[in-house]
Amino acid sequence: MEEVIKIEGGHRLHGTVRISGSKNSTVALIPACVLGNAPVTIYGVPNISDVKSLTVLLRELNVEVKQLDEETLYIDPTHMENTPMVSNAVSKLRASYYFMGALLGKYGHAQIKMPGGCYLGPRPIDLHLKGFEALGATVKYEHGCYILHADELVGNRIFLDIPSVGATINIMMAAVYAKGRTVIENAAREPEIIDIATLLNKMGARITGMGTSTLTIDGSVQPLKGCFHEIIPDRIEAATYIIMAAAMADDMVIENIIPQHIEAILMKLEEIGIKMKVGTDFVQIYGREGELRPTEILTKPYPGFATDVQQPFTALLTQAKGQSIVTETIYTERFKHCYELNKMGADIDVRIPSGFINGSTPLSGTSVVATDLRCGAALVVAGLMADGITEIHDVYHIDRGYDHLDEKLRSLGAVFWRETVE
Ligand code: EPU
């Protein structure tokens, strides 16, 4: 038995949708909270299965976790124990690797299973490990577990070959108590990095340069303390709803967003012919002027076009007249959604690292598989546009990252439900 999502396509969307707190911030903020010795309260926590998996992991470390209300999590590491992290919950998501940096930083020791997460082609963590080593840690891999150890962590100058989001955050967490100054060059500049550094600074860390490619961490002598933190809005969820609106709405508002975070995506939407108004914390989509125009997209680290938005955007581009080309520079194999979209009638020729989308093609509902989280988002966009009913399998991928998807879509007028099937 399996739960599937069903969407009856062709219904116009309208109204307002409120964007939740950022998934990719939350999954790093939660491990960051254990760096101190006092309670941290975080607000804007999305109701997604990744947060549930992290809550399980916190409890296994004897960290007290309380859900104060739907969006507020209270995390108290006062009685925390640094036990090996070997349970199944570690493998449910990629972000469990943030406990490497947090535990190494706090205790000088971490033992953790290989993390899981979406398969987007190879996703090595060599840059994280090199960063830990540069701070003085030893790294061993035994029986499927990473064992990190340092008698003392000492600040260092670290150059990242690639501006990796995960490596930047992990090294930043490990360096919070390291002796002296750590400088990360070619650091990632994603808004989520700023969010994590802001939380750590509220807790007493001394981090500067976040949002630039040079991040400086001056090691703290005092234990970090508790604080209150509000998570930034989810720019990928925002972009996903904006794409749905571009596909199926004549007037729809996407609110509680930071439009600067999605500038590259908004520019592309305007380029293909979507009419919009950009406010301070909302975007209003007015539909399209005539036929959609094709475009070329190159995914890039922030502030470039986000790889996480590439997949749902591709679904929209099936409706542009002419050939669009999407090229991945972050995850060159992130094209599984194209094969699923082709089952629905799209004409996408995948020649890694690019997808050539020949449009426009009518889409028709059929049975498809969410091979990863944003592939799932692409299939939801396609399902909303398609003729008839789309049945999406492996929905657990989607539930890892989209807060209250069913309620939000139904309130916008989508015909969207779940069924249990054989
Ligand atoms: N990379 C290495 N070595 C490393 C680390 C990364 O070669 O040690 C490579 C990766 O293989 C990739 C590139 O560097 O080609 C960038 O990877 P990055 O480390 O920045 O990605 P990540 O931290 O693993 C986060 C998001 C992803 C998002 C990427 C890129 C989280 C939990 N995940 O992953 O989000 O695609 O940054 O922006 O923050 C998603 O939300 O669907 C998702 C997959």
Which amino acid would we find at residue 179? K
pLDDT at 93: 86
Question: What is the distance between the alpha carbons of residues 370 and 376, in angstroms, rounded to a whole number?
Answer: 4
Residue 117 has pLDDT above 90, yes or no: no
pLDDT at 221: 80
Residue 121 has pLDDT above 90, yes or no: no
164 CA to centre of ligand 1 in angstroms? 6
Tens-place pLDDT, residues 80-101: 999 999 998 898 888 999 999 9
324 CA to centre of ligand 1 in angstroms? 25
Tens-place pLDDT, residues 364-417: 999 999 999 999 999 999 999 999 999 999 999 999 999 999 999 999 999 999
CB-based burial of residue 407 (10 Å sphere; 0-12 exposed, 13-18 middle, 19+ buried)?
A: exposed
- Mutation test residue for ligand 1: of 90, 165, 298, the one with most atoms within 8 Å of CB: 165
pLDDT at 396: 95
Half-sphere exposure of 282 (CA within 13 A, CB side): 12
pLDDT at 220: 84
pLDDT band at 422 (very low <50, low <70, confident <90, very high): confident
Q: Which listed residue (33, 118, 338, 375) is catalytic?
A: 118
pLDDT band at 260 (very low <50, low <70, confident <90, very high): very high
Which residue has tokens 């590439």? 310
CATH class for domain 2-20+233-421?
A: alpha beta
CATH 3.65.10.10 residue spans of the chain: 2-20+233-421, 23-230
**β partners of residue 206:** 218
pTM: 0.97
- Mutation test residue for ligand 1: of 92, 99, 164, 213, the one with most atoms within 8 Å of CB: 164
Say which CATH architecture domain 23-230 belongs to: Alpha-beta prism (3.65)
